[in-house]
Structure 1
Amino acid sequence: MNTSTAAAHAALSDTAEGAASARAAPRRLPLDGIRVVEFTHMVMGPTCGMVLADMGAEVIKVEPIDGDRTRHLLGAGAGFFPMFNRNKKSIALDLRSPAGLEVAHKLCGTADVVAENFRPGAMAKYGLDHAALSKVNPRVVYVSHKGFLPGPYQHRTALDEVVQMMGGLAYMTGRPGDPLRAGTSVNDIMGGMFGAIGALGALMQRMQTGVGQEVQSALFENNVFLVGQHMLQYAITGQAAAPMPERISAWAVYDVFTVRDGQVFLAAVSDAQWTTFCNAFGYADLLAEPAYATNNARVVARPALLATLRRRLADHTVAELSATFERHGLPFAPIARPEELFDDPHLRATGGLADIRLPDGPHAGDIAQAALFPITMAGERLGVRLHPPTLGEHTRELLQGLGYDADGIAALHAAAAVA
């Protein structure tokens, strides 16, 4: 991107006529023309690349000759590769081979962004760290995803679970004495998102300076950011935050209720909502009770109030309660499992799930649905332009783009430098 700051400002101030014209033209995504080369695996680094790819960047995933091991994980890891590697191209290189490493350096020389999430020092061993690449390509934005930002912990091996345990999140999620990790790869995913945010900021600054920079995102610091509200609660009140199952709720009606055919979360988080709730269910006695007159009063009386509500609501069905709460604009949520979201009417109606072709394993070639990045731009979701790639699916195309002819490509394959 060589756009000047003035041109960028002009682009951001389109007239209504120009905006209408742009809407009529074929859609151009915001990062169209940006090339990203990523050396990533697992979740954190691939998430960064996926965010940039979804917004239109050409993202090239550099894999080992035998492939990113994430492709073949079982159990809870089975969805990692297809979820976080859509809209990317794959090239397989042997970085231990001089010829394969040369290809990697050539690719990085064409990149606007290089992203990685390997242990400290791993990229420097191949001359693929920021210090080395920026000498050849001073415009490169280099995004490192690590366990810890530079400091006393930086050489520790970190995992999402590790930082949840040491960073207070597992304590806050589980019951007292039973720390529990969150039910998804929350730090890996958010750490990758923060890496992408940093990359976007660095690209904007490059428009002003002409020079790239290194961006670092880390699991531990991400986790600390997540629990920062609990840290400030202690700083302000002097009271340590209790684990979520035992916390003192700010609202009296804010809980999961077990009813005739399942469970449902119900809430009334203001005096107005409490009035609406009581009127909706004919609870005139509760509405008239002085002990329940204000939210704070209801919080004080919460144990007795919840016991009463659990008895009264137990004979309803989830559907009945959901319909009543929705009709009156009250917060509610049936308790769903992840697999049930494939049939969620809102996601189906709004295009929140998109077809992808599975690249590996016994279901390779089958079509599944994956959750899209949860934003719209110009009223549209950011869709799937490229299925998660098979190993080395774009190797030949990318080598040709670097100037290798047919004989050169054949020689690289013969030397097992590429696949």
Structure 2
Amino acid sequence: MTASSPTEDPAFLADDDLPLRGIKVLELSHMIMGPAAGLVLADLGAEVVKVEPLDGDRTRRLKGSGIGYFPVFSRNKQSLAVDLKSAEGQALVRELARGCDMLVENFRDDSLVQYGLDYASLSAANPGLIYVSLKGFLSGPYKQRTALDEVVQMMGGMAFINGSTGAPQRVAPSVNDILGGTFGVVGALAALNDRQRTGRGRHVRAGLFENNLLLVAQFIAQHQLTGTPPVPMGDKRTPPWGVYDIFDTQDGRVFVAVVSDANWRTFCRDFLPPGWSDDQRLFSAIDREAARPWLVPAVADILKAWKTAELCAALEASGLSYGQIRQPHDLLDDPHLNAGGALIPTTMPDGRQVAAAALPIEFDGRKAGKRLDPQAIGAQTHDILRGLGLDETRIAQLVDQGVVAV
């Protein structure tokens, strides 16, 4: 891994050039959807305070496939550890919200009412507050249900189309959590722009189920237009192009995409024996799609003689689309990602290090980098309370009473 430090790399925006600098955000969230939204806002320059229980967000303690959640979604955030079940803790967070531009939460509907941290209560004291609620479902009969990414993948058709008949399979990444959280940010930024005109905030809601709907909408439209349900990807892959497949090489596998007629002529010229470009059975994209039963095996027989690196280099030189089949951790050594600053060195509170992904956005050729590593539980509690006007004696009392942790 050769990822470079954002603080030293000109590929990253300077702190005073970040687009959301000066925006204050309070994050009351858990697991992935809320932290994902908070990450986007924090990376873009907002001052994000993550409110955690006294023993910390539970993602800090996850193992196995969940061990990566905390280091990936927690950078650039301050940590305030507070007991929200105590009246004093609730009052502190309400006071903090009075001075914020946005609040992000992904708790069950109405669960924050008991703490006076719901939209109605907070907007009464801070009319300009943009309150972002990240939920399982938007308005409708399911609104009060709880949901997880995997739940909506199952009920929303994504697991069906991704698996095989009789064996639905979830998409491995938390696509609905991450994209759903991102849509929450889209709504928040739209509301922030509108606030310049009206002076008032808004209650923005984003839903996992509706996000899933957007992701499978193309398959719904396909069924409506053809009358035939789409076949699960695990049953039979039916791409709309003649060569759009994974091919074995001498030492690996490469996905090759030959889409347009111009692509086909180039592919014939650089990779296939003489005469292929003149075959009338392959003149158009429609012809090549119809010829897939014999075309794909024939191309596979030719490409298997190549070594992976040499084939990729030749495809690159020809300007054709391709991708070597890799595992996620192989990306740590990807020259493009390393050169472009897409991998951000991240140190966890216990000293362990990972390379986390930068936001896939550039502003004038520069990415948003890291200002703060994932913090220890309550690392900024003391400074935040001082910012609210509490003196050292009062802070010590709150610590002794178990209201906050520093």
TM-score category of the 2 structures, normalised to the smaller one: over 0.9
Equivalent residues in 2 for 1:86-97, closer than 5 Å? 86-97=75-86
How far apart are 1:370 and its partner, in Å? 0.9
The answer for the alignment partner of 1:395 in structure 2 is: 381
User: What is the CA–CA distance in structure 2 between the aligned matches of 1:223 and 1:282, rounded to whole Å?
Assistant: 41
Number of aligned residue pairs: give it: 393
How far apart are 1:26 and its partner, in Å? 7.2
CA contact (8 A) 2:32 2:178 kept: yes
Larger RCO, structures 1/2 (Cα 8 Å, 6+ apart): 2
1:230 aligns with 2:235: no
CA RMSD, Structure 1 to Structure 2 (Å): 1.5
The answer for the alignment partner of 1:135 in structure 2 is: 124
Equivalent residues in 2 for 1:199-348, closer than 5 Å? 199-245=188-234, 246-348=236-338
Which amino acid in the other structure matches residue 392 of structure 2?
Answer: A
How far apart are 1:25 and its partner, in Å? 9.1
1:75 to 46, 50, 64: 64
The answer for the alignment partner of 1:58 in structure 2 is: 47
Q: 1:240 to 1:247 in 2, by over 3 A?
A: farther
The answer for the alignment partner of 2:4 in structure 1 is: none
1:415 aligns with 2:401: yes
CA contact (8 A) 1:91 1:394 kept: yes
User: What is the CA–CA distance in structure 1 between the aligned matches of 2:271 and 2:281, rounded to whole Å?
Assistant: 19
User: What is the CA–CA distance in structure 2 between the aligned matches of 1:415 and 1:27, rounded to whole Å?
Assistant: 39
CA contact (8 A) 1:30 1:56 kept: yes
The answer for the alignment partner of 2:167 in structure 1 is: 178
Which amino acid in the other structure matches residue 103 of structure 2?
Answer: V
Deviations 1:176-203 (A, max 9, x none): 3321111200000001100111110011
2:366 to 380, 388, 391: 380
Q: 1:26 to 1:165 in 2, by over 3 A?
A: closer
Which amino acid in the other structure matches residue 256 of structure 1?
Answer: I
User: What is the CA–CA distance in structure 2 between the aligned matches of 1:286 and 1:42, rounded to whole Å?
Assistant: 53
User: What is the CA–CA distance in structure 2 between the aligned matches of 1:109 and 1:25, rounded to whole Å?
Assistant: 28
1:146 to 135, 143, 150: 135
User: What is the CA–CA distance in structure 2 between the aligned matches of 1:93 and 1:30, rounded to whole Å?
Assistant: 30
The answer for the alignment partner of 1:156 in structure 2 is: 145
How far apart are 1:367 and its partner, in Å? 2.8
Higher mean C-alpha displacement, 107-116 vs 168-177: 168-177
Which amino acid in the other structure matches residue 73 of structure 1?
Answer: L
User: What is the CA–CA distance in structure 2 between the aligned matches of 1:402 and 1:28, rounded to whole Å?
Assistant: 27
Deviations 1:27-63 (A, max 9, x none): 4211111100010111100111111111110000000
The answer for the alignment partner of 1:5 in structure 2 is: none
User: What is the CA–CA distance in structure 1 between the aligned matches of 2:318 and 2:250, rounded to whole Å?
Assistant: 21
Deviations 1:253-274 (A, max 9, x none): 0011122111110110011111
Which amino acid in the other structure matches residue 179 of structure 2?
Answer: M
Question: Could you tell me the TM-score, scaled by structure 2's length?
Answer: 0.94
1:194 aligns with 2:183: yes
Q: 1:26 to 1:40 in 2, by over 3 A?
A: closer
How far apart are 1:248 and its partner, in Å? 2.7
Say which SS state the counterpart of residue 172 (structure 2) adopts. coil
Which amino acid in the other structure matches residue 82 of structure 1?
Answer: P
Say which SS state the counterpart of residue 194 (structure 1) adopts. helix
CA contact (8 A) 1:109 1:137 kept: yes
How far apart are 1:389 and its partner, in Å? 1.2
Structure 2 residue ranges without an equivalent (≥5): 1-12
Which amino acid in the other structure matches residue 50 of structure 1?
Answer: L
User: What is the CA–CA distance in structure 1 between the aligned matches of 2:98 and 2:125, rounded to whole Å?
Assistant: 7
CA contact (8 A) 1:35 1:58 kept: yes
Say which SS state the counterpart of residue 369 (structure 1) adopts. strand
Equivalent residues in 2 for 1:34-45, closer than 5 Å? 34-45=23-34
The answer for the alignment partner of 2:357 in structure 1 is: 371
User: What is the CA–CA distance in structure 2 between the aligned matches of 1:151 and 1:349, rounded to whole Å?
Assistant: 47
User: What is the CA–CA distance in structure 2 between the aligned matches of 1:136 and 1:281, rounded to whole Å?
Assistant: 68
CA contact (8 A) 1:241 1:247 kept: no
CA contact (8 A) 2:90 2:116 kept: no
Identity of aligned residues (%): 48
Structure 1 residue ranges without an equivalent (≥5): 1-23
Q: 1:188 to 1:252 in 2, by over 3 A?
A: same
Higher mean C-alpha displacement, 241-250 vs 334-343: 241-250
